Amino acid sequence: MSNKAWAEWFIARLADRDRAASIIGDLLESGGEQNLVWFWWSVLGVVLSLVSRNLVGFAAAFLCAWLSSVWLRTDYPAHLPPWSWTPVFSVLSVLCLAAPYVLVRYGLRDKFTQLALALCVPAAVGVFYWWVPLVVLPCVLLVLSVVVFSSVFIAGRKVLLALVGALAFGYAGIRCAFYLAERYLELASPSVTRTVVVQRSLPFLCVAMAAAACELMHHFLLQPNRHLNEPRGDSGTAVG
């Protein structure tokens, strides 16, 4: 394929096909006799603008994860939950990572974001103060009320299904990342540097898994008309 076709295909991974064709057309029209380097530099600028909300959302989710870890290291050791609660707390942790990401990525007007925030706030309070019954019980009731209310309407059930799917895929991805990290450290030669690198990379992987799960479920369940088309075999003239 020509450079035009490759660039259009690449941008179509981040936007719909018509928008990608329009963007490349505008670049070719405004570029005139510019060379190949200018064209791909412009394409890179377009890609960064398309993923800017993803990157900011990732940063917001990572900041929340870092703040939570600081709190957990200081106050949480005195109130460790029972081991049997670990899966529940892990899923709720994925929700706390997903909520800030989708807030930035899709905006507050998005139904997926609204449901994630409505569940995240009481869930986070319940996780952080699980040993205080007067705090946990209202949080549990609020979460159940939101879930029941969302299940009443067809549109709400679809959004709820998307969020549940995102939590499931995110949790599975995070557990897989931890498992692979443990196996890698077991098989690799002992090294303090390698251990530190793996430990520091895990928070990034956790946020990435939660974000990818949200993108996946939001795209396939809440944006059914947006298709990721296959690259076309256009035989246009290459730029430059």
Domain spans, the chain:
3-50, 53-222
Which pLDDT belongs to residue 226? 55
Q: Which has the minimum average pLDDT: 40-49, 70-79, 197-206? A: 70-79
CB 9 within 8 A of CB 18: no
Tokens of 14: 């981040």
Q: Work out the pLDDT band at 83, boundaries 50, 70, 90.
A: confident
CA distance 14 to 51: 8
- Mapped onto helix, strand or coil, the DSSP state of residue 132 is coil
CB 233 within 8 A of CB 1: yes
Mean per-residue pLDDT, 8-15:
82
pTM beyond cutoff 0.75: yes
The DSSP 8-state label assigned to residue 229 in this structure reads P
Q: Which amino acid is at 175?
A: R
Identify the burial level of 127 via C-beta atoms within 10 angstroms of its C-beta, where 0-12 means exposed, 13-18 middle and 19 or more buried.
buried
CA distance 61 to 120: 12
- Mapped onto helix, strand or coil, the DSSP state of residue 75 is coil
Q: Which amino acid is at 88?
A: V
**pLDDT above 80: residue 32:** no
The 10s digit of each residue's pLDDT in 177-215 is: 999 999 988 888 778 888 888 888 988 999 999 999 999
Residue (of 171, 26, 21, 154) closest to 94 by Cα position: 171
Residue (of 152, 141, 90, 137) closest to 119 by Cα position: 141
Q: Give 3-state DSSP helix, strand, coil % of the chain, rounded to 5.
A: 80, 0, 20
**pLDDT above 50: residue 237:** no
Using alpha carbons, list the distances in angstroms from residue 210 to 150, 159, 176, 188, 236: 22, 16, 12, 27, 39
More confident residue, 43 or 69: 43
Tokens of 81: 């939950």
Q: Work out the pLDDT band at 54, boundaries 50, 70, 90.
A: very high
- With a pLDDT cut of 70, the percent of the chain lying above it is 88
Using alpha carbons, list the distances in angstroms from residue 214 to 120, 158, 233: 14, 14, 31
105-114 long-range Cβ contacts below 8 angstroms, 24+ apart: 105/53, 105/54, 105/57, 105/211, 105/214, 105/215, 106/218, 111/155, 111/156, 111/159, 111/222, 112/159, 112/162, 112/163, 112/214, 112/218, 112/222
Identify the burial level of 8 via C-beta atoms within 10 angstroms of its C-beta, where 0-12 means exposed, 13-18 middle and 19 or more buried.
buried
More confident residue, 191 or 160: 160
Q: Work out the pLDDT band at 75, boundaries 50, 70, 90.
A: low
